[in-house]
Structure 1
């Protein structure tokens, strides 16, 4: 059971306001996170990183460039660097639900553990959930104040999604492959995948529409994405790399390596072990965070999520490795909020 002393995860309603509105609505969490970032990396280092990110942003086609510039002005050193430092791991699955007690088919539950090995930042502690809205309806983002993209989100009545970092391309020596990948990112004008994911949550009316658009849309860096719709058949993993896009099911499980033995250098700790553990949890029908155990949980784990768009249910835990740093958040959103 959760200890009463654990802080609650704030839920803030920002509508169409975007990242600047979220920064203002969760000022306490924003100031705590930025203060830790400046103590860990120092303001001069963060200013240099911000300048590099600003140069890249000048030629990038992200629809949220103005939000990022406003954040840089409002939040100060580190705002751009933290937004564009895509250095996380993760394990996720789209797990079809069993029929209910009277035989009605269930939906799909997104199971998600996000790992971010950024030492010195209590990322689990500063979590917020933002209620946002776009042309296709309302959605929830499990995020941090001042973050413009979406890494984990649920649109009630439509779909839930989780973004994982892709492996370093391979084969070949890891340092050389990593440098080659970074050069491609620096020269790309396509938006980051977390910005694409937010745009999809804002505008895609169904999981099938989201799948088609994610398959075709260009991004500046490869990614893995888990997509869970409202029907048991709507459970997919999307793998997008420099060569194209692959759609995987049965099981729809993602860690930080490509499937089908495609050569790569996996990210994070024990990627293949995490994948196997999550696949076993899906097979066993694990829910209510019973799947949250090693190797899925490791020292870099910062949050865990269960999201069911069919029922409009979202559960979130803030973590520091295996240690809980927030109380469990349980939300029930009306699926009819979707357009």
Structure 2
């Protein structure tokens, strides 16, 4: 199996990784846009770019450069759109000396597991590692040595009329009317600028976002763990060790769950060990399912991370890359 590439970059890591890995980027675009007419992609790009301009996105010039470098439609829309399910756990390390994040990313798009890369980014508040894809401008999961590890889960979709597809269209229209950043761009800003677990938690709980989201956060001390459930302007913070999938824990918050067996995945994740084992022996159904694309365990105190990409084979996912083991000791 091929290894997950590791690239050292500056702050403009999306464009730098695109220039380093153009073949991977185009392969991912092929999978993400398969069956979508180019005319429709151009329309979605135009709407997405207008929305980014309306919110004065600091990342719009970067996305402009990425779109020009790719030379094909889809870059703007794929930078702001996401449809996935994930399962996370934040808890102390087995010896109780640090905090760890266990993360499994589920996404239907083929190639996300096969073509994942690790970018070691020189951020303003310190270096961080993000498991990402060439040209992708957000951050979905990562580790900042000596600061924190964090990941983003898609939140339940609001009930509107009770029919899933109609509710999806109504909620999507609501997103386009928002002037706030996407959750993935907020998480990137947190990795770039937050100096500590406390600062990261404050930003993730209080900064307005364009659509509901769930953040998992693990600092460097065993007591520094939290799950942050978010609407656009409200937050419910669950302190301490916790697990999360794609349904709400906050009392009174309701919505359509995401992904495969959200409740079952969250329940099983409670018993998952936080060991830095690159073979992920605990990754079984229902956490492992046909949408699984990535598994990761990170410890920011030690500056260590293990990860592996997955792709669907038959009715479930199987390893698509060799295990990655990174050691980035805190400065």
Q: Which residue of 2 aligns with 1:81?
A: 77
Counterpart position of 2:103: 112
Q: Is the 8 A contact 1:50 1:81 kept in 2?
A: yes
CA–CA distance in 1 between the matches of 2:306 and 2:153?
Answer: 19
Secondary structure class of the residue paired with 2:216: strand
Pair 1:154-2:149 in alignment = no
Q: CA deviation at 1:253?
A: 1.1
| Pairing 1:320–2:315 present | no
Matches within 5 A, 1:160-175: 160-170=149-159, 172-175=161-164
Matches within 5 A, 1:153-302: 153-170=142-159, 172-175=161-164, 176-242=166-232, 244-260=234-250, 262-281=253-272, 288=277, 289-302=280-293
Contact 2:209 2:231 in 1 (8 A): no
**Residues 303 and 318 in structure 1, CA contact (< 8 A), matched pair in contact too:** yes
Q: Distance in 1 between matches of 2:233 and 2:32?
A: 35
Mapped contact 1:18–1:67 kept (Cα < 8 A): no
Question: Matches of residues 119-134 of structure 1 in structure 2 within 5 Å?
Answer: 121-134=110-123
Number of residue pairs aligned between Structure 1 and Structure 2: 322
Give the C-alpha shift of residue 291 in structure 1: 2.6
Displacement of 1:182: 1.6
Quote the residue 2:42 is aligned against. Answer: 47
Would you say 1:92 and 2:88 are equivalent positions? Answer: yes
> Residue 204 and residue 242 in structure 1: after superposition, are their counterparts in 2 closer, same or farther (change >3 A)?
closer
Mean Cα deviation higher: 167-176 or 262-271:
167-176
Deviation at 1:173, TM superposition (A): 0.3
Cα deviation, residue 40, structure 1:
3.9
What is the TM-score when the length of structure 1 is the normalising length? 0.90
Q: Name the Cα RMSD after superposition.
A: 1.7
C-alpha displacement at 1:171, in angstroms? 7.0
Q: Which of 124, 127, 130 is the matching residue for 1:135?
A: 124
The DSSP-based 3-state class of the residue aligned with 1:212 is helix
> Is contact 1:11–1:129 with CA below 8 Å preserved after alignment?
yes
Which has the higher mean CA deviation after the structures are superposed, 260-269 or 273-282?
260-269
Displacement, 1:287? 5.1
The verdict on how the C-alpha distance between 1:158 and 1:171 changes in structure 2, with shifts beyond 3 A counting, is same
Contact 1:12 1:26 in 2 (8 A): no
Residue in 2 aligned with 1:102?
none
Q: Greater shift after overlay, 327-336 or 288-297?
A: 288-297
Instruction: Provide structure 2 residue ranges, at least 5 long, that are not aligned to the other structure.
Output: none
Cα deviation 1:215-261 (Å, max 9, x = unaligned): 11011011001001001111100000146100013542110010045
Unaligned stretches of 5+ residues in structure 1: 1-5, 100-104
